[in-house]
Structure 1
Amino acid sequence: MSAGAGEGAYSFSLTTFSPSGKLVQIEHALAAVGQGTTSLGIKATNAVVIATEKRAPSPLVDDAALEKVALVCPTIGIVYSGMSPDFRVLLAKARKMAQSYWKIYGEYPLTKTLVQEIATIMQTATQSGGVRPYGVSLLVAGFDKATGPALFQVDPSGTYFMWKASAMGRNMTNAKTFLEKRYSNDISLEDAIHTAILTLKEGFEGQLTEKTLEIGIIGQATKSQVGAAEEQQPVFRRLSEQELKD
């Protein structure tokens, strides 16, 4: 009995505030994010770019299977810094939410709507006994009729903000400083991609190549047949290695 009571008290203490008003587990989760590879996002005039470093944990790992920039639905993409298993779980939940929304309304959710749902899941983990917070931060890039191109960051606490440009992970401070110097409100998609590469290159150990870089963009439209008329639909996609090399 005493052992069980002790475990319950310990689990409860992890989800309560310290006397200084902090949730220590959130700080630990943010530390896990800070140890992850650098990821960043930039909102251009009519597009959004998200990018990250891609490092294999061993030379024997087949890096073709590594994926850090991922598709949630045709109008939303996501990248992370932190623990990849936690990201995998959140990505699966986000995809399920997007598909459920589409089945009900016949369209994919607004970027902010999906971000709010993800943030709620992450926040719930901060006040449940015996459950640790997610050790991951997310950058969500989307394009919808309400806000156009949009970039959101979601942290382990469930806090989310809309950004013009942001960075997270191991080299976050230097990357944000670099972005502040180079970002402008009228930045084009091509310039945003170029800036993303330069920002990652600043803090990258070794040579940054198409093999060690992942970039996703949304804002380039494709034509789809809607009734008798053609409608421009923004589609999220990852740049191929050849495009990155060029």
Structure 2
Amino acid sequence: MEAIGNAGSAIGILSKDGVVLVGEKKVTSKLLQTSTSTEKMYKIDDHVACAVAGIMSDANILINTARVQAQRYTFSYQEPMPVEQLVQSLCDTKQGYTQFGGLRPFGVSFLFAGWDKNYGFQLYMSDPSGNYGGWKAAAVGANNQAAQSMLKQDYKDDISREEAVQLALKVLSKTMDSTSLTSEKLELAEIFLSSSGKVKYQVCTPDDLSKMLVKYGVTQPPAEA
């Protein structure tokens, strides 16, 4: 839990037309080469994605496990795996590591976002003990208590996806350790249904993120030269 408390925070918000995940990338040193791949958001299957807080090497193992389970289910039943079933099977793996000596638990918390035909859009949070629960809005990582209480105040039941993005960015800007939010420090991903009714997972580009931050008044527009 200590490792998760020090990791960059991640926020998930469930809206009526999708699920929004926003993560803070911790820039530990300016000498560090920032990776081009996403480090907080991972696609598990076409209909499920997750945001991660904690030890990345532990997360990679669990994400691979989840991807294999999702593919096995699709191969066996010719349909996407229900989101909760996938979360539960991953949490069973996590729980096993808390039960016996000689192993340490996975030091990672997940926010799972997904859609299935049984329950529509869903957001789940799981911790190292293997406990998980369905949430309307949740935060993991650094300052998650402060973020959680802000979400509790500002979340509305019939929130739209755009409002959810705005709320997530606002909460992150108020609870992040660093003073200013920039697109380099953020990752934003959404799960929604496309016009053809297919589930779509979309990661926001840095340019779009910068525009969003200015649009919602989180950062000031760059001064004209």
TM-score norm. by structure 2 comes to: 0.89
Which residue among 168, 173, 180 is the counterpart of 1:207?
Answer: 180
Aligned counterparts of 2:23 and 2:130: Cα–Cα separation in 1: 22
Confirm or deny that 1:216 pairs with 2:181: no
Q: Displacement of 1:65 after TM fit?
A: 3.7
| Alpha-carbon distance between aligned partners in 2 of 1:128 and 1:55, rounded to the nearest angstrom | 32
- Runs of 4+ deviating beyond 3 Å: none
Q: Out of 169, 176, 180, which is 1:197 matched to? A: 169
Q: Is the 8 A contact 2:41 2:50 kept in 1?
A: yes
Is structure 2 residue 210 aligned with structure 1 residue 237?
no
Report deviation, 1:179.
0.5
- Look at both structures and tell me which one has the larger radius of gyration over its CA atoms: 1
Structure 1 counterpart of 2:83: 111
TM-score (norm 1): 0.82
Q: Matched residues in 2 for 1:166 and 1:114: separation?
A: 19
Which of the residues 100, 105, 125 maps onto 2:72? 100
| Aligned residues between the structures | 209
1:33 aligns with 2:4: yes
Kept in 1, the 8 Å contact 2:12–2:123? The answer is: yes
Q: Alpha carbons of 1:156 and 1:197: their partners in 2 closer, same or farther (altered >3 Å)? A: same
Native 8 Å contact 2:4 2:141 kept in 1: yes
Aligned-partner Cα distance in 1 for 2:193–2:165: 13
Q: Distance in 1 between matches of 2:83 and 2:32?
A: 34
- Alignment partner, residue 19 of structure 1: none
Question: Residue in 1 aligned with 2:33?
Answer: 62
Q: Which whole-Å CA distance do the structure 2 matches of 1:245 and 1:95 have between them?
A: 31
Letter of the structure 1 residue corresponding to residue 90 of structure 2: I
* Counterpart residue identity of residue 168, structure 1: V
Residues of 1 paired with 2:206 and 2:100: CA distance?
42
Q: What root-mean-square deviation, in Å, do the aligned CA atoms of Structure 1 and Structure 2 show?
A: 1.2
Query: What 5-or-longer segments of structure 2 have no aligned partner?
Result: 212-225
Partner SS for 2:115? strand
1:222 Cα deviation (Å)? 5.1
